A and B are shown apart, each in its own frame.
Chain A
């Protein structure tokens, strides 16, 4: 064969790609299928020459070679379609074809609307092999071909997609009756009773595949989707098959038209009834569907749970708020008490200070008294006493409590005139230096 050319470019070699001799094996070819090549044509001859090398093969080799060859030709007599023939059915008259169960006639009762076209053809052929008038005659039977005609009619209808659909529309044998109220009331039977009903009804849906009933473990989404689908069911079902026969062409035109109109109305009516029937059926199923109740309870429980949670949260918030309030109050009170307590302390301290000051003042006053107001000998006269005490008072007036205390400490226990006087002079000097006393204000206590 001539080498083909492809115009799309090969990719650029990625950076850093390396392999020994520029070739890197990665995987293996998938498992092949064994098939026969047809021994026909010039290219096969070349193939055979290469493969044979003048060898001759044996029967054993044939069997071995054919072992795993994929089959492409089905057996003509594949026995899949075989069901016992009802003797009553064999007596049928083909004229009454509308009343016949076409699937049963062909032995396809268990396939019905699910039978493939190929199955129908095979079933037909199988029936013909048995019921063809020539066959019956050969096996000593009568040449009665009425059942053969039934077979032909069944095949004609089932191999015509439109007529088959019309028959399937009214094929009661494919119906599964919905459970009676009493049956439906039985506990735990819901899916067993209703599942097949929906499976059977599903055949009428224009949209395939159809969501089915599911079971107890189906999700809420599945169940909701299921009922949604079935409440909006788009059915191809139609009722032409039950039409009254329209009289032949030129007999009577009016009569013909009349029957046609009647048929049309009947079809419409049946279609409407069928839509209502299905709606009812879905209503009934829905009413008995424990899952719905369960989902509701679950939902309610869920809601309740949420409500409880919400309430609990609210309660807690309230409690928290209350606690916080209490705490705040408590803290306030504590602070208050603390404040109160500190006030008392302050007062006490003040008093203590006052007392201390008093005491210190007494020490100061006492210090001059103890040294006889700086009079070396004899009693100090009243003037001297006055002037000394005045000056002492003047100094005291300028002193802060700490300074008072310091001075008192210095003077405490000092009994000699010079010492006491020296301390006083020093103090006055300090005050004068600080600008608290004017130089010269002090006469006695100055140097």
Chain B
């Protein structure tokens, strides 16, 4: 819709202004890439950058974001929340659990709707989830337009990797209803990776990335291969049991027990008490991401009794250990699903609000090797705010495609363009010895690199220079396990943990066993070619360029650095 017919007169299309939207079940964020190329997450009128994906209606007036979220306490029946995942689904296929304390989803033809008083009329209206989504988008767009001082008319929206085509269709319709052009849907984990990789200081480097998107209602883990700045998804997992809300619940139960102890009544038993407790427990939880203590204080929690208490971080972490453990296992399982080892992972991006939790980041860091970079606020000073990652990524993509026709974008995302053969094994060179059993393999092209692809690496030569051999072969990823040398028994007194918590942490009185030493290694696979570079100068370097074409033919160019002549050769394409 680059040009619109209006009364038979072709009006020139208004200039495109595109933003990125991260649309979550719990929160949404809007971001725009300015002329300096830096994405900025935009605050709404209330100053929020994480805008709850909630709409609430009081006597026909619509409330949005945090204002609507507070209505969960008094006006839950006319408050619609946690609806993103219902978009484009039939009632039969949704899990309505998240909407337990807000307007309940209902069956409406083939879709989902809510019955709410969204006008001042006495009788409720049936409002479809598409309509709700549209109203929500409208509010987001209007906040962005206010901030930018110009009408936003195009969007890139992030969606989970398991968002179906039907869901995208319905969300696209919602965007259309909100009077914005949908440029592209992009997967949330890809947006998060892009937000990091688009930073000017980031060098393009081939790497395996795990994106853990830990939100309010779900935790999604994605394993990506990043090759030449392009991303291919190797495995995904979706979890609805170990997310932010489950952490809220830990504190709700903790405080409720405290309340019961004092007052002999359970605040969870009346909906309003529960809503208040939930609201404040979430705030307490967030406070514990920064401070080591947090205070909760609720007026008239139950039966008119006020409640206030403090909780320290250690206590919280102990109580929440089950949820933390579930998140860590989810990550481990997804790496396994990708047929990789934890040692293969170069980078872990923690995304989503729950990623602010320090203990989650540190637990995750311990399962990976020392060299794996865990990008989270508590493990890396230069980490990007995890709540802003997906919106930033969407804004970057929005700025990249802003000038294209939507049809052009669609055609570029066509499988004819996106589907590519990915290398099964690494392709590289043997060092120190040309003998497969003694040489050390170094990859030039990593496994999972989409082809065509070209990489250049320079190599040192023997001390005296001379004639060198370049043996090009495939490398198969492998894990080398070394048994630790048995340590002499130390007879010193063992430090006993004095602080025995009443939690059901397993008492590990067994002696810690020395763990096996595990290292990444390469097994030499098919030998592809041999090249000789003769008469290399003392201290000379050799530059090797491997170029694999789309048919898996390999072109090799090798020369001594500084020399004009070199050796070229071709390994013909295979006949698969």
How far apart sit A7 and B432, CA to CA, in the bound complex (Å)? 11
Chain A residues with Cβ below 8 Å from B458 are 3-6
Any A CB within 8 A of the CB of B228: yes
Tell whether B176 is near chain A: CB-to-CB under 8 Å: no
Q: Give the residues in chain B near A69, CB-CB below 8 Å.
A: 415, 419
CB proximity of B117 to chain A, nearest CB, Å: 19
A10 and B261 contacting across the interface, CB-CB below 8 Å: no
What's the Cα separation between A358 and B194 when bound, in Å? 142
- Contact flag A17-B469 (CB < 8 Å), given A37-B232, A69-B415: yes
Contacts A11-B430, A17-B469 given: A33-B421 contact, CB under 8 Å? yes
> Residue-by-residue, is A108-140 near B (CB-CB < 8 Å gives 1, otherwise 0)?
000000001110010011001100101100100
Q: Which of B107, B198, B229, B333 counts the most chain A CB atoms within 10 A?
A: B229
Chain A, residues 131-167, CB within 8 Å of chain B (1/0): the string is: 0101100100000000000000001000111100000
Stretch at the interface among A57-65, A189-197, A427-435: A57-65
Shortest beta-carbon distance, B212 to chain A, in Å? 16
Interface members, chain A 25-64 (any B CB < 8 Å) = 25-45, 47-48, 51-52, 55-57, 61-62
Q: Does B468 contact A10, Cβ atoms closer than 8 Å? A: yes
Number of interface residues of A (CB under 8 A): 76
Q: A379 at the A/B interface (Cβ < 8 Å)?
A: no
Residues of B184-201 at the interface with A, using a CB-CB cut-off of 8 Å, are 184, 186-187, 190-191, 194, 197-198
Contact B229 A52 (CB under 8 A): no
Known A22-B532, A48-B412: A27·B161 in contact at CB below 8 Å = no
Complex CA gap A48/B474 in Å reads 28
Docked complex Cα distance between A446 and B423 (Å): 133
CA A26 – CA B567 in complex, angstroms? 16
Q: Which residue of A lies closest to B205 (CB)?
A: A1
Does any Cβ of B come within 8 Å of A8's Cβ?
A: yes
- Is B48 part of the binding interface, using a Cβ–Cβ cutoff of 8 Å? no
Q: What 1/0 flags go to A57-82 for Cβ under 8 Å of B?
A: 10001100110010011001100000
In the bound complex, CA of A345 to CA of B463 (Å): 99
The answer to whether A40 and B460 touch across the interface, beta carbons within 8 angstroms, is: no
Given contacts A72-B233, A135-B96, A159-B326, contact A30 B424 (CB under 8 A): yes
**B422 touches A (CB below 8 Å):** yes
Q: Is the CB of A12 within 8 A of B107?
A: no
**Cβ–Cβ contact A32 & B504, under 8 A:** no
A128 adjacent to B97 (CB under 8 Å): yes
* Cβ of A79 to closest chain B Cβ, rounded Å: 13
Report Cα–Cα, A329/B433, bound state, in Å.
76
A118–B412 touching, CB < 8 Å: no
Chain B residue with the shortest CB-CB distance to A12: B462
Query: For the complex, is A443 an interface residue (Cβ under 8 Å from B)?
Result: no
Contact mask for chain B residues 12-23; partner A; CB cutoff 8 A; 1 contact, 0 none = 000000000000
Confirm or deny: B427 has a beta carbon within 8 angstroms of a beta carbon on chain A: yes
Contact A37-B418, Cβ < 8 Å, known A9-B459, A12-B468, A28-B573: yes
A13 at the interface (CB under 8 A from B): yes
Pair A22/B533 contact, Cβ less than 8 Å? yes
Check: A19 CB closer than 8 A to any chain B CB: yes
In the bound complex, residues from chain B placing their C-beta under 8 Å from that of A124 are 241
Contacts of B184 in A (CB 8 A): 39
Q: Which chain A residue has the least Cβ–Cβ distance from B548? A: A29
Given B107, B456, B470, which contacts A138 in the complex, CB threshold below 8 Å? B107
Give Cα distance in the complex from A69 to B416, angstroms. 12
| Given the contacts A125-B95, A249-B261, A250-B261, A11 and B230 also touching, CB distance less than 8 Å | no
Q: Are A160 and B96 in contact (CB under 8 A)?
A: no
Complex Cα distance, B242 from A124, in Å, reads: 13
Q: At the interface, yes or no: A21 with Cβ under 8 Å from chain B?
A: yes
Nearest Cβ distance between residue B412 and chain A, in whole angstroms? 4
Bound complex: CA A161 to CA B325 (Å): 9
Closest Cβ–Cβ distance, residue A75 to chain B (whole Å): 9
From known contacts A22-B533, A26-B530, A121-B241, infer whether A31 and B576 are also in contact, taking CB-CB under 8 Å.
yes
In chain A, what residue has the closest Cβ to B569?
A23
B568 on interface, CB distance cutoff 8 Å: yes
Known: A117-B329, A132-B96, A138-B91. 19 other contacts (CB 8 A): A1-B206, A1-B455, A3-B456, A14-B434, A14-B469, A17-B469, A24-B529, A28-B528, A29-B573, A30-B525, A32-B423, A35-B233, A42-B400, A45-B401, A69-B415, A72-B235, A76-B162, A118-B333, A134-B105
What residues make up the interface of A, taking CB atoms closer than 8 Å to B? 1-14, 17, 19, 21-45, 47-48, 51-52, 55-57, 61-62, 65-66, 69, 72-73, 76-77, 116-118, 121, 124-125, 128-129, 132, 134-135, 138, 155, 159-162, 249-250
Nearest 8 A/B pairs, CB to CB: A23-B569, A43-B229, A32-B421, A65-B415, A28-B574, A13-B467, A39-B413, A48-B412
